[in-house]
Structure 1
Amino acid sequence: MIHDFAVIGAGMAGASIAAELAPHARVLLLEAEDAPGYHSTGRSAAFWEECYGGPGVVPLTLASGPYLREHGFLTTCGALYVGRADDRAAMDRFLASFTGTGVTIKRLDRAGIDRHISIMREAWCDAIHEPACADIDVAGLHQHYLAATRRGGVETVCRARVTRLTRESGSWRIVTGAGTEFRAARIVNAAGAWADTIAALAGVAPLGIQPLRRTVVQLRVDPPAPADLPLVLDINGNFYFKSDAGRLWLSPHDETAVEPGDVAPEEMDVAIAIDRFEQATAWRIAGVERRWAGLRSFAPDRLPVYGPDPADSGFFWFAGQGGFGIQTAPAAARLGAGLALGLEPDAMTRGIDPEPYSPARFFAHDTARTA
């Protein structure tokens, strides 16, 4: 059988767009690992945060919020971007960059900070509060989309790492490392950290999508972290931490360029995270209980890539979603599927301009490639 679409990658990106394509097409979903979501999706400390990813991502985030809330995947916690006296200019720039985007944020002084978290050290005197920030049930959302693929008749195959992609008789011949072969009219590249690898296999020019390692540490602290603690982020991007069942999840906000693969935390990154945390708060660390690392993948301009390749309309990009791929999953998948199927925008996507996310933006001056 020739499928209409072969979606490569069954993490959040692949599962969500496969679920949106399923009511309209015959869809194949291929996953390299033993189970979907092993790399980025399964290791995410995700939150729905209106400002995360910058102004260019805000339309996708805001459009996804109602869907995530209505299906019970969000638990509101709020967020605080914190800074010291020397960071006031950075705070001003942050506020200015989101003016007119629709996000809800406001400036707080030290008294305002203390109303949300009283254990920050005295030097941290400036903050921006985002009240709508929420924890995301990542596993629940991923399973929600996988269940939708099953209901939609998607053929899902795990342990199917793609090793060859060739054009034959108007369709794609897909060969996996297990020796199995499939056919599809179009490829949807939702391979995350492996997105450029898949493009190269298909003979499509890579976009420079770079996998980056992110470290997270689970701490036991004294006193225990309150359940209503907001997500706390350094305005300069040096750390963030959040509460989780009386523990704290802490990250040094690292982005280390790596090859796509199974990543592990580096001891130096763990040490840096703890040092920054101790400089910022008066919490006593009673123990380091867990540590892990995950991948996030960015295009060169740090915006996601959704749309057909300019040189090959049979190869559809759905990648480069960085650390915001989970919070934007509903709108991104609906937008991507609509573009792939040629559908009119619906209520969720009508206010989203797809042009900034098109892969064509990387080749606007490459007339030889796009001719």
Structure 2
Amino acid sequence: MPEQYDIAIIGAGMAGASLAAEIGLAANRGPSKSIIVLEAEDSPGYHATGRSAAFWEECYGGPDIAPLTIASGLWLREHGFLQERGALYLGREDDEQVLQDFLRRFAKSDVDLTRIDRDRLEGFVPGIRPAWDRAIYQPRCADIDVAGVHQHYLAQARKAGAHIACRARLLEACVGDRGWTLCLSDGRQVHAHTIVNAAGAWADEVAQMAGARALGIQPYRRTVAQLRTDPALHDTVPLCLDISGNFYFRPDSGKLWLSPHDEVASPPCDAAPEEMDVALAIDRLEGVVDWRVEAVERKWAGLRSFAPDRKPVYGFDPRMPHFFWFAGQGGYGIQTAPAAARLGAQLLLDLPRNTMTKGLNVELYMPDRFAAAMA
């Protein structure tokens, strides 16, 4: 006999874990739901969640994502998962129009942005080269304890009765009058009334397996390297991002985390860094600061998965009423997790908005915005 659940969530990364926890919390205000979270790997969070660059930045993802990030910030701070750092969007003379456009895009948002000059910039980033003479400062940017947030949500989900099943890759999903029958790689069968697609880079594959239309959610590889530099980077240096999108770096316990801000289309896979991307990142860094790179100590890559319009997808599939999308979080799935999961649980369970979610425009994220492509 198949195991019986109300909800089966595919994926135990940050998306699946946070949504399971929020569904469990919602049981305090209504009927409880039995939940199983299915994870293909040996442990939750092996892919994108475990490879995050670990920062919370209000501008990251653009004005349509900022409300989710800002709504999540209070929860993250209250739970002790953020450590203030600040962010600098760096520019040169040729970048002036890009800097102005950036400020204009966020003019009507709640993001705190300030133009700073070369003198103040030197105080933030010792050794910055003369050509980099202007920047935008965002003071509320913070480091985020990704593992802490993920483990918190997994613990909350288990406390609410959710079963986290690892090494349980979805092989087949069949829908009938009474819900879904799921066949798993460990030989089990699971029956669930509703399935949630929180499969990250595999979201479109899961949808097609279930008989839903793919939305065009595309994974892209992003590379990060940990460097030892001379001088060693002081931990008070802000997160530094090229306003034109060619690099970002930040300190981490005296080391430097550096990315070439690459975005290389990839099939769903266990992503690995390319040597050329690491070399490109170092070359770009050397054009920004006069620090000497002594060693590449670590390097890794992860997949960031985007829907065609670069916004996440939350909600029931318009053609399959018991198939719920919770995917396409791009590179901001960690920093938006609290608000996204709260909103996702409210949509899934047909609950009213609360203080965290009432200011969110849910229409931006619903899957029916792709109705023409899904017809």
TM-score (norm 2): 0.97
Listed as ranges, the gaps of 5+ residues in structure 1 are none
Residue number in structure 2 paired with 1:191: 199
Residue pairs, 1:280-295, within 5 angstroms: 280-295=288-303
Q: Hey, what does 2:24 align to over in structure 1?
A: 22
Q: Would you say 1:265 and 2:273 are equivalent positions?
A: yes
2:360 — aligned with what?
352
2:30 is aligned to none
- 2:88 maps to amino acid: L
Task: Give the superposition deviation at 1:118.
Answer: 2.1
Query: Which 4+ runs in 1 deviate beyond 6 A?
Result: none
Out of 63, 73, 97, which is 1:89 matched to? 97
Q: What corresponds to 2:87 in structure 1?
A: 79
SS of the equivalent of 2:330 reads: coil
- Give the residue type in structure 2 aligned to 1:69: R
Q: CA deviation at 1:244?
A: 0.4
Alignment-derived partner of residue 250 in structure 1: 258
Q: Write out per-residue CA displacement over residues 303-339 of structure 1, whole angstroms, 9 at most, x where no aligned residue.
A: 0000000101100000000110000000000000000
Give the aligned partner of residue 168 of structure 1. Answer: 176
234, 248, 271: which is aligned to 1:240? 248
Query: 1-side partners of 2:347 and 2:179: how far apart?
Result: 19
- Determine which of 330, 333, 337 is the counterpart of 2:341: 333
Does residue 320 of structure 1 match 2:322?
A: no
Q: Does 1:207 align with 2:209?
A: no
Structure 2 residue aligned with 1:307: 315
* Deviation by residue 1:77-123 (Cα, 9 ceiling, x = unmatched): 00000010000000000000001111001111111211211211000
Other structure's SS at 2:9 match: strand
Taking the aligned partners of 1:231 and 1:147, their CA distance within structure 2 comes to 30
Q: Distance in 2 between matches of 1:87 and 1:195?
A: 36
The correspondence for 1:343, drawn from 317, 341, 351, is 351
Aligned match of 2:46: 38
Per the normalisation by structure 1, the TM-score is 0.98
CA distance in 1, matches of 2:55, 2:243: 17
Count residues with an aligned counterpart. Answer: 367
| In 2: Cα distance, 1:46 partner to 1:176 partner | 32
Match of 2:135 in 1: 127
- In structure 1, how many angstroms separate the alpha carbons of the residues matched to 2:327 and 2:109? 24
Please, what is the CA RMSD of the aligned residues?
0.9
- Counterparts of 1:57 and 1:68 in 2: how far apart (Å)? 16
1:60 corresponds to which residue?
68
Letter in 1 for 2:22: E
Deviations 1:111-148 (A, max 9, x none): 12112112110000110000000000000000000000
Question: In the alignment, residue 32 of structure 1 is paired with which amino acid?
Answer: A
Structure 2 portions without partners, runs of 5+: 28-32
Aligned counterparts of 1:324 and 1:113: Cα–Cα separation in 2: 26
The residue type paired with residue 130 of structure 1 is: Q
Name which of 5, 12, 16 aligns with 1:3. Answer: 5
In the TM superposition, residue 282 of structure 1 has moved relative to its aligned partner by 0.5
